[in-house]
Structures are given as C-alpha cells and as structure tokens.
Structure 1
Amino acid sequence: MTGAERIAEFAARTLMEGVPQLVLDAAHLHLLDALGVGIASSTVVGNTDWAAAAPAGSASLLSGGTAEPGAAAMINGALIHSLEYDDTHIGSVVHGSAVAAPLALAVAQLAGASGRDLILAYVVAWEVAIRIGLAAPGAFQARGFQVTSVGGAIGAAAAAAQVLGLNHERAVSAIGIAGGQASGTLAFLADGATSKALNPGWAARTGVESARLAQAGMTGPASVLESAFGVMNAFAGGGEGLDHQLATLGEDWLLPQAAFKLYPCCHYIHPFLEALEQVMAQGGVAAHDITSLTAFVPPPVAPLVCEPWSRRQAPASGYDGKWGLAYCMAMMLVEGRVDVASFESAPREEVIAVAQRMVWKPMQAHGFPERFAARIEVETPQRQVSAEVNQVRGAPDRPVEGADIRAKFAGNAERKFSPARVSDLEGTVLNIHAARDTGWLGTLLRT
C-alpha cells in the first residue's frame, strides 16, 4: 500500500474501533488546552477582527459567532497558534492541536457528527502529523517549511474523510488532494509577520476542503507522500523514514507524548525561562543586577530564536518578541513572568536594555529534537551563577498535572467568559466523547 492508503486505513479503523483509554484521556485534556488558548487569542488586539475574513456559515468560531466550516477551521487554527501557547510533540516538532482541534470541530459540525467522532478525528489528525514529522526530523524546517502545516494537512484530510463517511478510495483521494495543497513556510521570521499563525489554520482548512472535494468526486494521487514529486521529497528532501513511522500507526500511540506549553512563546525558549527562574529563585539576581547573561543554545534551534541576535534582543513587535530568546529572558527578569500580556504591547525599552546584555553560544551534546535543553550563565557584580535544564517541563518525561492544564484553560478562557461559562465549557470538552452531537459545545463557544 502507499502511504496515503495506509493512513486512510488507519483513520477508518480508529473511527470504527476507538482508541485506548490513555489516548482518549490525553486527547480530551489537549483539546481543552487548545480551545482555551484559542479563546484567549481571540481577545488579543490584532486578532479580534480575523473572523471578518470568514464567509458566513454554521461552524463555531472561537472568537464568537459562526462561519463556513473550512473558513472556521482556518480562523480557529490561526487563533490557537498565534499565541505560541499551543502544545507540541517534541520529537516531530508538530503543533498538532492547532490543526487537529479546529479541523475536528468544524468537520464534526459540518457532518452533524457525535462527540465521539470529533475526539477520534482529533486523535487521527494528531497521530498522522506526528508520524510525518518523525519520518524526516528537522528536515522540513531546514528547507524553510513548518512541519505542522505540511504534515497537519495530511492528518486533517485523513480525519475529515472519515467523519464525512468517505469510502477507502475517496479517503485516499482526499489525502492526495491535501498533499497538493500543503504548505506553510518560515518566511515570517524575516519581519515577524503574524501570518505564521495561519500555517496550521490553512492545514485545517485543507483537510476540510480536500475531503469535501473527494466526496464530490475529485481524485488525488495515492502516492502523494512518497512519489518523486510528493510531499516528503518536495518538503523534506526525502522520506526514507516514512515506512517505519507508518508501520505502527494504531499500535503505538504518540499523542500522549505531546508536551503542554506553559509560556506563550516559542517552545525552544521555554527551558531557558525555566533555567532563569531557577537562578532568580536563588535570590540576589534581578534585572538591574545583570552584568551579562550567556545562553548556551542547541545549534538547530538557533536560526529561529537567536538569528539575527540584534532582532532577538529588540524585536520588531510584541508578536515578534515571541521568538526572541534574549527578549523573553529579559521579560522574565523585568516582570518576573512571561504570559499572554507580555506580548500584547510594543517591545519595551527597559526589557530591550536588559536583553542587550545577553549573548549566546552553541551548546554541545544537546539531544535536540528529542530534548529541548538549555544552559545559562549569569554574571552580577557580586557573583556568577548558572543553571541547566535537560528537558523542558511539560514533556512526557517531565509531565505536568492535569490540574495545571485545567487551571491554564480557566485563566485563558476567563479572558472572554464568566467563570460559570468556563466551568461549563471544561465539563463539556472533557466529556465530549460521550456527547451525542456537538450542539451544546457550539452554543457555549459562540454565544
């Protein structure tokens, strides 16, 4: 079988047979986290009017109201991703929920499907995207593409095809069509453009539209993943690892390994913020004390968070600051926290001044991408201190409690909704598998 055929078979089996309880529990918690992040994002200046670009329809928008299903998936995906607060599977560097959550919500509402179909579609989209990222780790990014959007489009189409009830042949076509529409570059790094948020949004929309086109009779190439001009060669320069990754689909479940994010900035920066918090907790180290700070950075992540260093010290905008290693560390020193509000305003001079006392050097034996590691050395007039983090908190080998994620959801959702509404949303999402339909969830989100 081709890769698309194997993925379509996996998706059909999953929607029919379900998934292990451990996977289901993880899916509910990750979905809750993603929806909370998207709700918070919809309140941020600059994001509030995005829904105006979506044609009218019946699918729920996290910003309120409804839109045409494909457009709703696109806008919701952009909202979930725009804060850089959405979860990540570390080894594949896939932001799965930013594709899977808006896709599953939109296609379930389009089809009038059950909550069970919604959550299982969410799992399918995640699992497939992870496998594509793991088939060529780091290769997509090295060529300037975001694997979330490329692999996400394939997973989204596979999931959507099953919720819409497509047979095997048409489900394979949906995946083939999606492969031809997959994209998502890292060009935003040049000036901090907010269109980066759209990468998973486009992938989610591609999933919806590819399945609908296949349902209407359009065909797509069954060899879209492995052919000479297919996804793996075009976006990653090869895909020798694809067969190995697809061989265990439905046997080894990888969604439970996805890491929750505890700061709304690039995930590569998180272990550095943790290390800095360790230093600050020792006492006697504050923003005005810092003579210099050296960050030892895994070379594969440096192009994203260190280059050019002058921009990562003095970003072009608050949004651009989310990829500024120096700026984020300086924000932690100045404010004692890095949260959603940290990036809502223009870059602050007092933060930039602290960032400009920082330098970076390559880290040896870093273990990336399996580990997101960090080391910092801080100098003050009185002393030198250092700290090291070998793996980012929230990863499977450094897990956070479910209560922490529910608290994160509440903090995010209460930017828009009352505590009572937030409680209703939490209960609904965490029990969505048992819901006969998505009607009540849609009502809670859009009113």
Structure 2
Amino acid sequence: MVTALDDLAQWISTLTPDRIPAEQHRLARMRLLDTFGLIAAALDHSAGRSLLAWAGASAGAGATVIGSSAPALPAVAALVHGSLAHARDFDDTFIDSVVHPGSTVIATALATSEAADVTFETLTAAITVGYEIAARLGAVAGRGFHARGFHATGIIGPIAAAATAGYVKRLDASQLADAMSLATSMSSGLLAFMGDGGWSKWLHTGWSAHGGVTAAELAATGFRGPRHGLDHAYGLYGAFLGKPDAELNKLTERLGQTWLGASAHAKLYPCAHVIQPYIDAALAIREQTFATENVSTESIAAMRCVMAPWAIPIVAEPRASKIAPRNDLEAIASLPFMVAAALIEGRVDLRTLEQATIENPAIQALATRIVCAADPALGSGFDGRMDVTFHHGDPLSRTVGIAPPKEARIISKFNANTNGRSRPACDALLRALTDETPAGRKLMRLAHTAMTGPT
C-alpha cells in the first residue's frame, strides 16, 4: 500500500533544482542570510556558549560548527546551528501552524551540504524542499499541536529535516520514505518551558535537525522506517492529536505547483510572531501621536490588544509573568512587555532582551495598563486590533496585521545581528548569498570567518 510518506518521498526524489521556480531559490538565499545572522546573534548568549561547549566535547568530522574551532559530525553541527538560530526567537514562522521552519531546515541543509560539498543550487533546492514539507505537515495540524501542549516545531521539524537531508544525500524514493518515517519517531517537544523560561524551546529546533540528519543517515544504510508514520492510529497525527483521520490530502494537493513553503514569514523583532504586528502598531502610534501632540506614555490610561483566542495563553497568560517577565524567554512571549518596550524606547531589538530592559520599572508600569482580549471572529490568523484610551483626548483604535518583510529589511536585520563581527567578512558573506553561488564547504568557510574572524 502506498502511504502519504511514500507520495512525498516520490516527489522529493524526482525533483531537480531546475524544476523549482527561480523565486523559490531566491527566497532560500534570503533565508540563509537571515539564519546566519540569527546564529551570530546567539553566539554570545549563555545558551550559545553552552551549545558550543557541548559541540567542542563532541568531536567528529564532516561539518563546521560556527563559533568553534573543532569539526563535528553533521548531526552535531545541525543541532548546534538549529538551536542557535532559534535562541533569540527571531526566526521565521508559518502563520497557520506556528511552526518555525528555518532554524531546523537550514541548519540541516548547511551541515549535510558541507559534508557532501554540493552545489549552491542543490543547497537552495534542499531548503525549498524542507520548507515545503514543513508547511504541508503543519497545514494538516493547524494549531492542534500547541492546543495539546506540544511545541509544533519539534513535532514537524524532524520530518522536514529528514526530507532536507535526504535530498542533499540524493536518497532514492524508498530511502527518503524510510528517513521521514523514522523521523516521525523523533518528533517531540513540550511547552513546559512556558512555566519557568527553561531553554528546552531553543533545543527543539536543533534536536529536530539532529534527528532528521540521523534518520537520513540511517535510511541510507537500509534501516527501515514505519511507512504509516503519519496515517496509522498511532502515527504522528493519531498519537499527538488523536486524529488518525487527519486531512492528509493537504500533504500532496498541488504539490510542486503551489509552493506553500514560501508562506513562512521572517521576523523583524525578537519575540513571538503573534506579537509582531502589535509592535508595528505601537511604534506607529508612538511616531505619529507622540511626535505631533502633547502625548507620551504617561498619557496612556489603558491599552487593549484584541487577538484570536488561541494566542491568549501564549502571549497574555499568566498575567503576572507577562507584566514582569523574569528572563529573556518569558519576555519573548509577553505581549504587554514588548508593546510597552516599543512605546517607551521606540524600538524592539536584541537590547530589549537584556536584563536591564526586562527589569525597567517604567516598562513594567506601562505593561500593567496593557490588557489582551480574545475575539473569536479573528479565527486563526495574526490579525487583531489595538485600542488606546488616554487620560485626556480622544481614544485611538488601530487594526493590526502582518505581512512578510522585503529583502531590504532582511539585509538590515542581518547587518544588525552581525554587528560586532568581522564587517568585511560579513559583507563577503552577504555578497555570496545575494549574488554568488558558493558550494557547501566554501559557504561554511565564509560564514565561519564572518562570525569568528577579527572585527
């Protein structure tokens, strides 16, 4: 019997880079650039130092770990880079499933592409494949994984990573099906980090990449996987969602014609994606209202942020830790804190996650006047509304929504995230990713020099 995994594997095995639209290859370039910047931004974080220490003690060969002088096995490099890229919560997201594809897919693609020294065209094709598989697996579940306490990225990630690694390694259809089906048993990730700000969230993307690389390596040796890993009663959707009869037709509907992977949105602020449009609105209010009228944050009596019900437990509850987060991971998931920081400081960037900003009494005081409310009519999107009342003057209401950023914003984000690194080397990496076609090993040499070379 041909299964859903068999169908996906057959498509991947016959897909050549020239059959992928040019705009998808271009998008993969921007996603590479964004991810390298995210890795750079996390190298000096405590979690980053921990990951690099672990990598240094896990000697191997075949792949570079950015920030480490020791080579590593591809699976180890994938884990480190995947976790680093997610560790500032600055990576891209699929709006419908809240899956973060880039950290996992690109970490996998970099590790396996360097080991095989494949062409740049193969690398961008593999990234496109990984995003497409992640998008379609997520579309079947919607936000169901989060609703049951699972981090959707950790559930979907290993399978997308196995598809990515399998494409780079040129596995045949049977091997690809084995790789992805093995990866279904590597799916994991709890939302328990929301209780105290533990770093397990950031490990989910790296662990997914590690699992996908390992699954592809095992499949290449003939290790068999459960082909009913998606559609069995105890398969992915049956076990995690209680829905073995999930709409699996979404996995292959117009596959290769409609590129769902293109719908992942890059972030412009280091926080939960659902908060992003409210930051945009807050900054616009600050610029337009504070600059032209005798108004300041002290003038705000109350602010009400209206959003879809699914988002409330993520960014608005429990209220005490959302008003006064204890650490950067709690701040990342706090809409009141992030909106207050935007209004007071006129920006939200990596400095917003510093402990001095998190403990800023003015930001915390304003956060107490920001409440979140659910509107069932908003459904599953990131759209919403911001209502502001002032101690004096007319109230203000603004509709909020989200749109993917332009290339120029991604480049600016990369430059900001690599601030303090070797500027000439970072500029060389930027040129390579926008205009050149570096093969796997050359690209990683460029990236490693950019992140670790002299400033």
Q: Tell me if the contact between 1:125 and 1:158 (Cα under 8 Å) persists in the aligned partners.
A: yes
RMSD (Å), alpha carbons: 1.8
Q: Which residue pairs with 2:317 in the alignment?
A: 307
- Give the partner amino acid of 1:422: C
User: What is the CA deviation profile of residues 16-40 of structure 1, one whole-angstrom value per residue up to 9, with x for unaligned ones?
Assistant: 6541112111111122112211211
The CA distance in 1 between the partners of 2:296 and 2:194, in whole Å, is 30
Q: Tell me if the contact between 1:289 and 1:381 (Cα under 8 Å) persists in the aligned partners.
A: yes
Q: Which moved more, 1:221-230 or 1:384-393?
A: 384-393
The CA distance in 1 between the partners of 2:159 and 2:101, in whole Å, is 12
Q: Tell me if the contact between 1:88 and 1:94 (Cα under 8 Å) persists in the aligned partners.
A: yes
* 2:396 maps to which of 354, 365, 386: 386
Displacement of 1:380 in angstroms is 2.4
The CA distance in 2 between the partners of 1:366 and 1:340, in whole Å, is 30
Structure 1 residues 364 and 182: alpha-carbon distance in aligned structure 2, compared to 1, 3 A threshold: closer
Q: Tell me if the contact between 2:275 and 2:315 (Cα under 8 Å) persists in the aligned partners.
A: yes
Unaligned runs of 5+ in 2: 450-455
1:43-442 alignment runs, 5 A limit: 43-54=44-55, 55-57=58-60, 58-65=62-69, 66-238=71-243, 239-280=245-286, 281-283=288-290, 284-345=294-355, 347-348=358-359, 349-369=361-381, 372-394=382-404, 400-415=405-420, 417-431=421-435, 434-435=437-438, 437-442=439-444
Q: Tell me if the contact between 1:139 and 1:236 (Cα under 8 Å) persists in the aligned partners.
A: yes
Q: Which moved more, 1:421-430 or 1:265-274?
A: 421-430
Q: Tell me if the contact between 2:13 and 2:171 (Cα under 8 Å) persists in the aligned partners.
A: no
The CA distance in 2 between the partners of 1:299 and 1:82, in whole Å, is 26
Q: Tell me if the contact between 2:384 and 2:400 (Cα under 8 Å) persists in the aligned partners.
A: yes
The CA distance in 1 between the partners of 2:202 and 2:435, in whole Å, is 28
The CA distance in 2 between the partners of 1:146 and 1:429, in whole Å, is 31
Q: Which residue pairs with 1:397 in the alignment?
A: none
> What secondary structure sits across from 2:203 in the alignment?
helix
> What secondary structure sits across from 1:291 in the alignment?
strand
The CA distance in 2 between the partners of 1:188 and 1:261, in whole Å, is 21
The CA distance in 2 between the partners of 1:443 and 1:92, in whole Å, is 34
> What secondary structure sits across from 1:333 in the alignment?
helix
TM-score by length of 2: 0.91
Structure 1 residues 152 and 46: alpha-carbon distance in aligned structure 2, compared to 1, 3 A threshold: closer
Displacement of 1:384 in angstroms is 4.1
Q: Tell me if the contact between 1:291 and 1:380 (Cα under 8 Å) persists in the aligned partners.
A: yes
User: What is the CA deviation profile of residues 346-393 of structure 1, one whole-angstrom value per residue up to 9, with x for unaligned ones?
Assistant: 521332122112222222421423xx1132222222124333334213
Displacement of 1:179 in angstroms is 0.5
Q: Which moved more, 1:321-330 or 1:372-381?
A: 372-381
1:445 counterpart = 2:451 = no
TM-score by length of 1: 0.93
Displacement of 1:45 in angstroms is 4.2
User: What is the CA deviation profile of residues 121-179 of structure 1, one whole-angstrom value per residue up to 9, with x for unaligned ones?
Assistant: 11111100110110121111111122222222111112212222322222211111101
User: What is the CA deviation profile of residues 227-246 of structure 1, one whole-angstrom value per residue up to 9, with x for unaligned ones?
Assistant: 11101111232252222332
- Give the partner amino acid of 1:56: A
Structure 1 residues 73 and 307: alpha-carbon distance in aligned structure 2, compared to 1, 3 A threshold: same
1:24 counterpart = 2:36 = no
Q: Tell me if the contact between 2:13 and 2:170 (Cα under 8 Å) persists in the aligned partners.
A: no
Q: Which moved more, 1:119-128 or 1:236-245?
A: 236-245
Structure 1 residues 287 and 20: alpha-carbon distance in aligned structure 2, compared to 1, 3 A threshold: same
